[in-house]
Chains A and B, each alone.
Chain A
C-alpha cells in the first residue's frame, strides 16, 4: 500500500469507525424499544415514492447541510489553531439579525443587495468573534469562557433588537420578525439546475447559497493548506511554542484566526435568510453553532470531511420525519447523532494512535539516504538505522496536552 493511500485510509478510519459504532448502538436502542433496526434503516434511506418527493428529500438534505457545513467550517478554523470557538452560535445569530435588518432597510439592485447583506453578516460575525480574540490576547481570558458568555450576550442582544428597534412585524403578531428583505435581496434558488439535470421539480427551492458555501469551503481549504497564513495557523495549533519560536506572532494569530472563524460563522444564517425566510424572527433556526462543533469534530477539521459530516447530519435530520410516519420515535435520530459525536471522540483517539504507530513503523523502517556526510565523523561505517523505538516518550505527553487544549 502506498503511504498516501494508507494515510487517507487512516484518516477515514476514525469517522467510519465512529459511524459504525453509533449505528450498532442505535440499532441496539431501536431493538430495545421493540422496533426492527433494519426497518428503521430502510425507512431512513427511503427518500420518497415519487421522483418529485425524492428530489425534494435531496433538496431538504442539501438545504440543511449548507448551514451545517458553514458552521462546521467556522468551528474548524479556530480548532485548527487550537482555539475552541464555542461562540459560533452567538456570532451567526447576531450576524443574521443585523444582516436581515440592513437587508430590509435598504433598496439596491439585485446582486449588490445580496452582497451588502452578506458583507454585513461577515463583518458582524468577525467583529463578535474578534472580541473573544481581543480578550484572549490582551487579558488572557480563555476563549472558551468568553465565547460562551458572548453567546448569552448575543442571544439577549438579538432578542432585544428583534423585539425593540429592529422589529418589523406588526404589534401583537405571534412571531416577531424584522422587516422582510425585498426580492432584490433574495438569493436565487438552484432548482433550474436540478431540473436541468433531469431531476423532477421539488417543492422547495434548493438554496443558491450552496454555491457560495462550496466556494468558501475551497477557499478555506486552500488558505489553510497552501498559504503561509494557513501554515502559521496550523503550526500554532500543533504546537504554540514551536510556532512562536518559528516567528509566528501568537497574539496576532489568535486575533486573525478568530476574525476568520467569525467571518465564516456570520455566513451560517445566510442560506436560510436569503433563500427562504427573508426575515430574522423568533422562529429563525437556532443551535447551528453548537451542531457545528459536532460536525467539525466528525469531519476532523478538514473541509471535505466537514462537508461529508454536514451531509450526514442533514440526512439524519431529514430521516426523523419518515421515521415518525413509520411509528418509530424520531428521537432515534438524536440518539444516532449523539452516539456518533461520542464515538468520534473515541475513534479519533484510536485512529490517532494507529496513525502514530504506523508512522513509527514507517520511521523505523531501515533506509539509508546516501549516508554521505557520515564519513566526516571519522567513523568507519555508519551504523544501520536501528535507533530503537522513536523518540516519542518523555515530554511527548506534554506536547499532546498543549495541542488539545
Chain B
C-alpha cells in the first residue's frame, strides 16, 4: 500500500512539476499550509458508509491521510433518490471543508455546477473524469483502469473454471460497469478462447437499485450457476452479497470487487467461496490525493489514473485460492503494463 501511495505520489509530483502554477495549485497551497486544520469533506455514493466496498475504501484512505497529517473528516451520504447531491457538496464547501472528495460517478453533473461556485475549495471525484476540465479548474478526477483489473479477474476465472463456463453480474447497466464486463470477458477469452461467458445486469440504466439489492443479485447469479457456470464475477456493489450466497448455495465460486471482500465479508461460509477480488484501491487514490493536497501539489482539471502499473487496480490473493496460477496472472499483468495487451474499455 505504501508502495502504491509512493508511486502515486511520485506520479502526481511529476505531473505537478510539468504544469505551471495555475489557479488550482495556488489555492491548494494556500489552504494546505496549515496541515493541522485539515478538514476533509467526503461525500459518498448511494449506499453510503458500511457498503464494504468503495465508500468504505474511500473512508479508509481519508483515515490514513488523517493518521499521517492530523485533522478531521466529515462524511455525508445522499438521500435515497440522490436528489440532494449538489447540496452535499455545497454544504461541505460552505462549511470550510477542503478538500472535498465526491465518491462515485453520480456526482458528474453536480460537480460541474457546484465546483465553479467555490473556487477556493479543492474537489476530487472518485470514478469521475475531469481530464477536459469541464467540471472546473479545481476538480481532479481519480479514475481507475477497472478493465485491466477485470481482465486479470477474467483470466483467473477462466483458468480456474472446471465447467468452462463463467459469469458476470453487473449492478446497473452503465458505461462504468460495462468497463468491468469488457475487461473480464477479454481476460477470460485471452486465457481460454472457448470459454462460455454469461453476463447479466441486475437493473437497467437509470434504476440504481441494482447496487443495493442482494436478493436480486442472488437470483441473477443463481441462474448462472444453474446454467452451468462455476465462477461468477460481480461488479454490483452491495448486491454482491447475493452473488456470494448463490455461489455458496451452488458449490460454485465468486470473484469480489472493489475491496478485498474475502477480508470484509463476515460470514465464513461466504468467505470460503470468494476466490479473489478485483481490487480497486480507492483508499490509495484518496490518500494520495490528500497528501498531494497537503503538499500543495494538486493541479486541478486533470485525472489521476490508477491502473495496474500504479497498483491502483489488481487482484487479491487472500485465502490462497489463486496462488497456483500466480505465474500466469503476473505474465498477463506485465503484458498489459507493457502495452502488449490492450484491454478494451467497452463492449
Residues of chain A touching chain B, judged by Cβ–Cβ distance below 8 Å, are 53, 56, 60, 64, 155-156, 158-160, 162-163, 171-176, 203-204, 272, 277, 281-288, 317-318, 320-322, 324-325, 330, 333-334
Kindly identify which residue among B86, B105, B173, B346 contacts A163, using a CB–CB cutoff of 8 Å: B173
* Complex CA distance for A330 and B78, rounded to whole angstroms: 9
* Set of chain B residues within 8 Å of A333, measured between Cβ atoms: 79
Given A172-B346, A174-B105, A286-B206, A324 and B75 contact (CB-CB distance below 8 Å): yes
* Complex CA distance for A296 and B127, rounded to whole angstroms: 38
Residues 320-347 of B contacting A (Cβ, < 8 Å)? 345-346
* Set of chain A residues within 8 Å of B174, measured between Cβ atoms: 174, 176, 282
Task: Check if B76 sits within 8 Å of A159, measured CB to CB.
Answer: no
* Complex CA distance for A127 and B128, rounded to whole angstroms: 38
Given A64-B83, A163-B173, A317-B79, A286 and B106 contact (CB-CB distance below 8 Å): no
Q: Is B109 an interface residue, CB under 8 A from the partner?
A: yes
Given A174-B108, A175-B105, A281-B109, A155 and B83 contact (CB-CB distance below 8 Å): no
Task: Check if B105 sits within 8 Å of A155, measured CB to CB.
Answer: no
Taking the closest CB of chain A, its distance from the CB of B107, in whole angstroms, is 9
* Complex CA distance for A318 and B76, rounded to whole angstroms: 13
* Set of chain A residues within 8 Å of B208, measured between Cβ atoms: 282, 286
Kindly identify which residue among A159, A203, A324 contacts B206, using a CB–CB cutoff of 8 Å: A159
Q: Is B215 an interface residue, CB under 8 A from the partner?
A: no
* Complex CA distance for A325 and B81, rounded to whole angstroms: 20
12 contacts between A and B (CB under 8 A): A158-B206, A162-B206, A171-B346, A173-B175, A175-B109, A204-B86, A281-B206, A284-B206, A318-B87, A325-B74, A325-B91, A330-B79
Taking the closest CB of chain A, its distance from the CB of B71, in whole angstroms, is 16
Chain B residue with Cβ nearest A173: B175
Taking the closest CB of chain B, its distance from the CB of A279, in whole angstroms, is 9
Taking the closest CB of chain A, its distance from the CB of B210, in whole angstroms, is 11
Task: Check if B81 sits within 8 Å of A159, measured CB to CB.
Answer: no
How many residues of chain B have a CB within 8 Å of chain A?
35
* Complex CA distance for A288 and B80, rounded to whole angstroms: 11
* Complex CA distance for A64 and B128, rounded to whole angstroms: 26
* Complex CA distance for A162 and B204, rounded to whole angstroms: 10
Residues 41-89 of B contacting A (Cβ, < 8 Å)? 74-77, 79-84, 86-88
Kindly identify which residue among A174, A175, A277, A321 contacts B84, using a CB–CB cutoff of 8 Å: A321
Residues of chain B touching chain A, judged by Cβ–Cβ distance below 8 Å, are 74-77, 79-84, 86-88, 90-91, 94-95, 105-106, 108-109, 117, 127-128, 173-176, 204-208, 345-346
Task: Check if A325 sits within 8 Å of B108, measured CB to CB.
Answer: no
Given A60-B87, A155-B207, A203-B117, A287 and B81 contact (CB-CB distance below 8 Å): yes
Extra 13 A-B pairs, beta carbons < 8 Å, given A159-B206, A318-B87, A334-B80: A56-B90, A174-B174, A174-B175, A203-B90, A272-B83, A283-B82, A283-B106, A285-B82, A287-B80, A317-B84, A320-B84, A330-B76, A330-B77
Given A173-B175, A325-B74, A155 and B206 contact (CB-CB distance below 8 Å): yes
Task: Check if B76 sits within 8 Å of A325, measured CB to CB.
Answer: yes
Taking the closest CB of chain B, its distance from the CB of A53, in whole angstroms, is 7
* Set of chain A residues within 8 Å of B74, measured between Cβ atoms: 324-325
Kindly identify which residue among B106, B109, B205, B346 contacts A159, using a CB–CB cutoff of 8 Å: B205
* Set of chain B residues within 8 Å of A287, measured between Cβ atoms: 80-81
* Complex CA distance for A324 and B83, rounded to whole angstroms: 16
Chain B residue with Cβ nearest A282: B206
* Complex CA distance for A121 and B332, rounded to whole angstroms: 52
Given A60-B87, A203-B117, A285-B83, A159 and B75 contact (CB-CB distance below 8 Å): no
* Complex CA distance for A156 and B176, rounded to whole angstroms: 19
Task: Check if A176 sits within 8 Å of B204, measured CB to CB.
Answer: no
* Set of chain B residues within 8 Å of A283, measured between Cβ atoms: 82, 106, 108-109
Given A155-B204, A159-B173, A176-B205, A321 and B81 contact (CB-CB distance below 8 Å): no
* Complex CA distance for A182 and B26, rounded to whole angstroms: 36
* Complex CA distance for A322 and B95, rounded to whole angstroms: 11
* Complex CA distance for A53 and B208, rounded to whole angstroms: 31
Task: Check if A324 sits within 8 Å of B77, measured CB to CB.
Answer: yes
* Complex CA distance for A163 and B81, rounded to whole angstroms: 20
* Set of chain A residues within 8 Å of B86, measured between Cβ atoms: 204
* Set of chain B residues within 8 Å of A285, measured between Cβ atoms: 81-83
Taking the closest CB of chain A, its distance from the CB of B140, in whole angstroms, is 16
Given A53-B94, A321-B87, A174 and B206 contact (CB-CB distance below 8 Å): no
